[in-house]
Structure 1
Amino acid sequence: MYTGMLIHYPTDFKGLVNIHSYSGEKLYPIKEESVSFLSPQAEQAAAIVNSAYEEKWAAAP
Structure 2
Amino acid sequence: TTLVNYIFRQTNLNRIYLKTLDSNTRAQQCFTKCGFIPNGHLVKDGFSFILMELHRKQQEQKQTEN
TM-score normalized with structure 1 length: 0.33
TM-score normalized with structure 2 length: 0.31
**Structure (1/2) with the larger helix percentage:** 1
Point out the structure with max Rg over C-alpha. 2
